[in-house]
Structures are given as C-alpha cells and as structure tokens.
Structure 1
Amino acid sequence: MTATHPPVRRGARARREERAGLLFVTPATLGIGLFVLLPMALAVFYGFTDADGFGNAGFSGLENYRRALSDPMFWTSVRTTALYVAVFVPGVYLLALAMALLVNGDLPGRAFFRTAFFAPYAVSLVVVGLVWKYILADSTGFLTQALESLGWDNPPSFLGDPDWALWWVAFISIWFFVGFYMIILLGGLQDIPAEVVEAARIDGSGPWRTLWNVVLPMLRPTSFFVLVLASIAGLAGLQAFDLIYVMTQGGPANSTSMGVFYIYQQAFTFNNVGYASAMATLYAFALLAMTAVAFRITRGGRFDHAD
C-alpha cells in the first residue's frame, strides 16, 4: 500500500508563508528604518534644539522655526527652488515624452537611440558637473571660445552671471535626467494595447489626434508618476545639489542657492545643525503636503471620471 501523509493544515501553511515573507522584507525594512526613518526622526528632534554638530544640543523650542520664517535667505532659497522646479519639471517631462514616443515608433536604429538617450544618466553627476563647468568656464570654456569664434565679442559669464547660472543648472539637470524619465514613459507607452491605437487609426484619426485622444489619456498614470517623482526630487534638490556644489557653490549672489544647498551650508559650513534640521523638517512637510494634494487631485494617478 502506498503510504499516505496527513494533510498539511491551511493555517500552518499560511503561517510558514507569512514567516518566509517577513524574512524577505526584513533586510529592506531594517535599511529603510536605519537610513531613512531614523535620520528623519533625528532631524525633527534636532529642529527643537540649538545643536552645533559637536555634541552640544540644548532645547530651544520653536526658535529655529521662527528664525527660518524670518530669514530672508531662507525665503530666497525657497524662491530659487520653486523657479528651478518650474523649469525642470515641465522641461524634463515634455522632452522625455518626445524621446519616448520617438524610440517607441519604427525608428531606424531604435536600440542605439535608446542607449544614447539614457547614456548621460549612467555617468556620475559630479563628473557631469565638472565637465560642464569646463565647458561653461569664462574665457577658457569651450562654449565661450566657440561663441567668440562665431563673432560674439563679449559672451556672458554663464556661471558667473546671476541671470544665467540657475538656467544652466536647470538645463544640465534636464539633460542628465531626461533619459531616466524617458525609460519610465517608454514602459507606459508599451503597456498601451496596440489594437487600441490601431483602431483609432482605422477610424481615421491622424497621428496628432491619436496621440492627444488615445495615447496621452492612457498614459496618465505613468505621467502622474513621472511628474510627482520629478517634482519631489526637484523640491528636495536631489538633482541639483551635486551640480550646484561642483559648479557654483550657491553663487553668484546666491542665485543658485536652493533650499537643500542652504540647509547644507547651515549644517556643515556654519555648524547650525539645529537650524538646518528645522528647515529640513519644513521642506519635508511641504513635500508631503504637495504629494498628498497631487494624489488627491488625480485620485492616485487614475484620473477616474464620474461617467
């Protein structure tokens, strides 16, 4: 006779699967807790102190927050950050969308262009900043010399003029990150059923009408993700900090001193760790509020309609 084994109870199997799942997520959970949540909690705590980074941290209540709200340089950094985001977010989205549409079509050498568009993102941002600093340098820079050879006698100081510096930081950020956002949008485009687009064409819809009435509406969840991700990263200064540190150091005349760079200066240059922590907390709450509003308006990127 064939030996029979007692059936494994469903509850025991579910508990084993639950334990296995917990083991898989534990390393990531510990990493997030140690390197994200703990620093955030410490920043909130130090925001209520006069910590100087050398072990001195007396309680100061809301003084750091009052100081931030009355600090002209803090508000200057906020305006600079807002201007950067206003240029970076629509610029990188529209260019990434155009590139994604291009390489998603029947483009000869499509694989080459996908690689070429993404290639800048594979380079260290510090290296990118150093290269562009050389290109834009006064008198000796490649771009300056090229303009002079074309007859422009006195080209502007691209990184030394407050009217130019932030625009170049935004342009280089777009050039660097557009390949990353292109890949995300390309994935969204490839999820659109080909038969839907083909049906629109059979019904007589031209390329532009198909794009506007079919492709873009179906791409809305991906577009929402890209826009929110780019906005949060721009407000947090994740793209621009390395460029500003390498190329301008916040200058000239604080024209590129975004919020994250001003926080860095207060914490590590002037040793005002408590004040920097308070400003970082304000930025964090602003980011959370912005994300919540965007999520609420778009219903999590679904863009559902009542009908």
Structure 2
Amino acid sequence: MEVAVATTRSRRPRASKLHSQGLAAHIFLIPWQLGLLLVTAIPLFASLYLAFTDYNILSSPEFNGLENFRRMFSDEYFWASVRVTLVYVFVSIPLQLAFALLLALILDRGLRGLAFYRSAFYLPSLLGTSVAIAILWRQIFGDDGLINQALGLFGVHGESWLQNPATALSTLIVLNVWTFGSPMVIFLAGLRQIPEELYEAARVDGATVVRQFTHITVPLLTPIIFFNLILQTIGAFQTFTQAHVVSGGTGGPANSTLFYTLYIYQQGFANFDMGYASALAWVLMIAIAVVTAIHFILSKYWVFYGDD
C-alpha cells in the first residue's frame, strides 16, 4: 500500500511537469495559430463564399450560384491563360530540373571552391521571382537588349523578343529555367547520399559512365527528383511577378504571356470583379491539387525507395 502511494506521488510531479510543458508549447504556438486563422483560414473560406457571388468591392456581394464557373467556359481569355500556363509549366519544369541535375552532377565531382559555386548557383532561385530580375529580363530581351546587341555583332538585327507573340513566352520559360539553384542544391544533397561502393562495384563490372548514371544514379535519386518535381510544379502554376512586369500587366503581346495568376489579378484588381476572380482562384487551387495527386499516383511506377 505504501509503495502504491509513493508511486502515485512520484507520478504527480511528472504529470504536472508534462502539463506545464504542454501549456508552454501552446502559448508559443498562439502567434502561428492566429496567423493561420486570420491570414489563411478566414480569407480562404471568404474567397470560397465570394466565388458564388457577384461582387465588385464597391457593393455588397450578391449570390449568383454557379454563374462564375459557367462563365469560364465562354471566356476566351480564361482559356488563353490556361493554355499559356500549361505550356509554361510542362515545358519549363522538365528543362529546369534537367539543367539543375546536370550542374549538380558536375559539382558533385569535387570541384575546388564548391561552397562558392553552390552559393552562386543558388542565388538565381532567390532573385528570379523578384521585380528587379523581371525588369532586367525585359532589358535583356528588349529591342536594344543584350541579346540583340550580341546578334548585331554577327549582322543579325532582331526585333524585341518580348513584343513577338511567338517568342515572348519562351523568354519567361528561359527565366524559370535560370532559377535552377534550389532544385540543384537538393539534387546535390541527394547525390552525396549515394554510396560510393555502388559505383566502384559497377566500374569493376565494366559499366560505363552512362550505364552508372541510368542504373545507379537515377534510380536512387528518383525520390529527390519527385520532391523537386512537386515543389517546382506548384511554384510554376503560381508564377505571377515575371509575367506582370515583362508585359506591363497586360499579358501581351496577343495574350502570349497571360498567365492564369495574372488573369486572376486583372479580374480582381483591374476590373474589380472579385467574385469571378475568387472562382478563378479556386479553380487554380483544384487544378494544382489534381496535378499533384496525379504525380503521386504515377510515382509508384517510377520512384524507388530504399525498401523497394
């Protein structure tokens, strides 16, 4: 009996200590919880409500059911923005990841000053979505930009790459490929985790460099490839700054840079059609969720983990 009482008394201070630690954790989480509620949750559900209304900011929202969603089917600018965004995502992301992996393989060979190169190559990922870089890009591909000046040395007089509907989107794809630093650093970390013994055994068996890459590097790196693919795809769908700055917010020329997010901005803050803009935003969120789900479903056919 005395032993049971002593055991109960010894548990009480421990339970009290755990309770106080849990209380402290909740107190420190209050700022994050308030941010989640006020900055994310409430605006999210408010936009869901506005997606089913006719709301121009100046007057109270009027419920109109599915009218905003039906309107999209006959909206030529909506379909133009969808086309531009899909081309941008499905062309720039494979190129960006391929370029990032190539540079990661080069840096993984043990170059001197690796820390410097890693930082220098990562820098574009930090600056690529900034207004300053978008303005710089406009200067590079403008009428008298750096590209046309270089072509002029060979007697080629090109027009503005940004004013030509056939090339305007390509310049933004190049800009996204240029921001390869973030996936490159992740690839480099993944390459450092591949055991060197596997390559030594492959070389003993006479495997070429290409065969080592296709049968060792790529299979063991597929989880990292998948991780980068998800992150970069979600980010590409949400691209806004570059298209807004380069086109002056118009999405031109001829809607060739009318990204989906830019069209949402135009509807919400230029036309003050917040109801339609909210509906567009929810369609984008659902599209990103569907594409991400498809990636996860397909990943079981090409992503290999250690226990596979």
Give the TM-score normalised by the residue count of structure 1.
0.88
How far 1:180 moved relative to its partner?
1.2
Match of 1:197 in 2: 199
Quote the residue 2:141 is aligned against.
136
Output the CA distance in 2 between the equivalents of 1:301 and 1:59: 46
* Greater mean deviation of Cα atoms: 191-200 or 242-251: 191-200
Alignment: residue pair count: 298
1:171-221, Cα deviation, whole Å (9 max, x unpaired): 01211x201111121222222233333333344333222221112111111
SS at 1:90's partner residue? helix
Question: Superposed, which structure 2 residues align to 1:48-59 within 5 Å?
Answer: 48-59=52-63
The structure-2 alpha-carbon separation of the partners of 1:137 and 1:219, relative to structure 1 and needing over 3 Å to count, comes to same
Q: State the alpha-carbon separation in 2 of the partners of residues 217 and 272 from structure 1.
A: 48
**What letter corresponds to residue 10 of structure 2 in structure 1?**
P
CA 1:207–1:243: 2 relative to 1, 3 Å: same
Q: Is the alpha carbon distance of 1:301 and 1:273 closer, same or farther for their aligned partners in structure 2, counting shifts above 3 Å?
A: farther
* Aligned position for 1:242: 241
Which whole-Å CA distance do the structure 2 matches of 1:263 and 1:30 have between them? 27
Question: Corresponding residue for 2:169?
Answer: 166
CA, structure 1 residues 266+193, in 2 after alignment: closer, same or farther (shift >3 Å)?
Answer: same
Partner of 1:284: 285
The two structures, once aligned, show a CA RMSD in angstroms of 2.5
User: What CA distance in whole angstroms lies between the structure 2 residues aligned with 1:85 and 1:17?
Assistant: 46
Residue matched to 2:213? 211
CA distance in structure 2 between the aligned counterparts of 1:83 and 1:43, rounded to whole angstroms? 27
Q: Which residue of 2 aligns with 1:35?
A: 39
Residue of structure 1 in register with 2:83 after alignment: 79
Relative distance call for 1:26 and 1:202 in structure 2 (3 A) is farther
Larger displacement relative to structure 2 (159-168 or 61-70): 61-70
Mapped contact 2:100–2:184 kept (Cα < 8 A): yes
Percent of pairs identical after alignment?
A: 37
Do 1:197 and 1:215's aligned partners in 2 also have CA atoms closer than 8 Å? no
Residue 224 of structure 1 contacts residue 301 of structure 1 at CA under 8 Å; is this kept in 2?
A: no
Say if 1:55 and 1:194 are closer, same or farther in 2 by CA, change over 3 A. Answer: farther
**For the structure 1 residues 235 and 59, does the alpha-carbon distance in structure 2 shift closer, same or farther, using more than 3 Å as the test?**
same
Alignment of 1:45-194 (within 5 A): 45-123=49-127, 125-138=130-143, 140-152=144-156, 154-175=157-178, 177-194=179-196
Whichever residue aligns with residue 94 of structure 2, its letter is P
Q: Give CA-to-partner distance per residue, 1:203-245, whole Å, 9 cap, x none.
A: 43332222211121111111111111111111222xxx11111
CA deviations 1:5-50 (Å, max 9, x no partner) are 9534565555445444444544334323332333222221110111
1:297 aligns with 2:298: yes
1:294 is displaced (CA, Å) by: 1.5
Q: Could you tell me how far apart the structure 2 residues matched to 1:195 and 1:26 are?
A: 49
Letter of the aligned partner of 2:244 in structure 1?
A: Y
> Following the alignment from structure 1 to structure 2, what is the Cα–Cα distance between the partners of residues 91 and 28?
37
* Cα deviation, residue 119, structure 1: 2.1
Structure 1 alignment gaps of length 5 or more: none
Gapped regions of structure 2 (runs ≥ 5): 1-5
Q: CA separation in 2, counterparts of 1:193 and 1:12?
A: 47
Q: Does the 8 Å CA contact 1:126/1:243 hold for their aligned counterparts?
A: yes
Per mean C-alpha deviation after superposition, the further-off stretch among 286-295 and 255-264 is: 286-295
Using the TM superposition, name which of 165-174 and 113-122 deviates more: 113-122
1: CA distance between counterparts of 2:193 and 2:25?
A: 29
Aligned partners of 2:296 and 2:236: how far apart in 1? 17
CA–CA separation in structure 1 for the residues paired with 2:33 and 2:136: 38
With over 3 angstroms needed to count, the CA separation of the structure-2 counterparts of 1:188 and 1:18, relative to structure 1, is farther
CA contact (8 A) 1:221 1:301 kept: no
Closer/same/farther in 2, CA of residues 306 and 191 from structure 1, 3 Å limit: closer
CA contact (8 A) 1:44 1:278 kept: yes
- The structure-2 alpha-carbon separation of the partners of 1:78 and 1:287, relative to structure 1 and needing over 3 Å to count, comes to same
**Cα–Cα, structure 1 residues 20 and 190, in superposed 2: closer, same or farther, change >3 Å?**
farther
Moved more, 114-123 or 291-300: 291-300
Q: Distance in 2 between matches of 1:18 and 1:293?
A: 39
Residue identity opposite 1:56 in structure 2: S
What TM-score, normalized by structure 2, do the two folds share? 0.88
1:264 aligns with 2:274: no
Q: Secondary structure at the match of 2:10?
A: coil
Q: CA deviation at 1:166?
A: 0.2
Runs of 4+ in structure 1 displaced over 6 angstroms?
Answer: none
